[in-house]
Amino acid sequence: MSKASVDINNLPYADGDFFAFEQLLTAKEQDRLAEIRGFLAREVRPIAVDCWNRGEFPMELIPKLAEIDLVSPVRRQGYSNLFAGLVHAEATRADTSIATFMGVHDGLFTGSIEALASQEQQDAWLPDIYSLKKIGAFGLTEPLGGSDVAGGTRTTAQRNGDTWILNGAKRWIGNATFSDWVVVYARDIADNQVKGFLVDTALPGFSATKIENKISLRTVQNADIVLENVVVPDFFKLAGANSFRDTNKVLKVTRLSVGWQAVGQQLAAFDVARRYAVERHQFGRPLASFQLVQSQLVQILGNAVSSMGHDGPAFPAGGCRPGQG
């Protein structure tokens, strides 16, 4: 079923693709996007608010995410980057927390393995990662280092024969309270270069404590990680992760998904505003019937759709862009 045959009236939200970006997808990609939208409508949107209120991750959703098979759509499944971006936007539109879970596991964690692991390592690890039999996390940010961690990584790695010994701490690590593996970036004390390691969370000396009392992304289980003399076999040192330049290869690709999340959040805001404007009545009429409200809705949707295609809002404070009316 391509987008052209979708009954818009049966969608869980308004169709806002006024720039027809989805028409750039192949018919197969359009069908797949429709399938994923249906899944998100059935399985994610109905539970999102309750999970946020409780601050708990719906573990029962993981087998369903595995079944819908969302991990590595470009590298493994051969879909386009546009398709991958639209999928991430739609996941965010349904629930930013679940989209963030996938962004950590699929983007940062899986991306580290795809970009920096040897072929032998990939063959050993990726099947379970792709199938969500092994859940991953990405350990870069530290208690005293955020954006400046590139030049000041405090977590250390020391070679000891055929093993590495890791010591240090990481903070705000999504998925880490229940993940099976964490890719940890640590500074090799021998050459002062940042290297990457696949760390089994069951190893002695590894601990992850949930960060409580968050306001945002409450469903995401962010953690403080402590590594105390964690011994990692040399095979679990990522073969291609030998400096922060290598780490940047992962960040460069996966940060694109953050932009798509912003698109999805704007579309979600439009969905909520539109539904309220249609359902809420004043003076015997829906709010949506008033031109001022209509103008505000158009501005929200215009900016959201515009964010997919160029570098600024469609409707700046001073009025329309040249050529737009």
pLDDT for 108 equals 95
Contacts of 113 (CB under 8 A, 6+ apart): 121, 122, 125, 126, 129, 136, 183, 198, 238
- Per-residue pLDDT band for 11 (boundaries 50, 70, 90) equals very low
Q: What are the boundaries of each domain within the chain? A: 1-281
Calculate the alpha carbon distances from 318 to 41, 182, 201, 302, 324 in Å: 37, 47, 53, 15, 13
Q: Which two tokens stand for residue 205?
A: 């000396």
Residue 307 pLDDT level (bands cut at 50, 70, 90): confident
Residues forming beta bridges with residue 122, ordered by sequence position: none
Which of 136-150, 255-269, 278-292 has the highest average model confidence (pLDDT)?
A: 278-292
The span from the first CA to the last CA of the chain, in angstroms, equals 35
The whole-number average pLDDT for the span 72-85 is: 92
Rounded Cα distance between 44 and 232, Å, is 36
Which of the listed CATH numbers 3.40.50.150, 2.40.110.10, 3.50.50.60, 3.40.470.10 matches domain 1-281?
A: 2.40.110.10
pLDDT digits (tens, 9 = 90+) for 36-77: 999 999 999 999 999 999 999 999 999 999 999 999 999 999
Confidence of residue 159 (pLDDT cuts 50, 70, 90): very high
Asked whether the beta carbons of 199 and 182 are under 8 A apart, the reply is: yes
Q: What is the pTM of this model?
A: 0.86
pLDDT score of 13? 55
Distance CA(40)–CA(31), nearest Å, equals: 14
**Rounded to an integer, what distance in angstroms lies between the CA atom of residue 219 and that of residue 202?**
23
Per-residue confidence at 14, pLDDT binned at 50, 70, 90?
low
Local confidence band at 314 (pLDDT 50, 70, 90 cut-offs): very low
What pLDDT band is residue 115 in, cutting at 50, 70 and 90?
very high
Q: Closest by alpha carbon to 212, among 154, 165, 172, 258?
A: 172
| 193 pLDDT more than 80 | yes
Torsions phi, psi for 232 (to 5 deg): -115, 125
Overall average pLDDT of the 119-143 stretch: 97
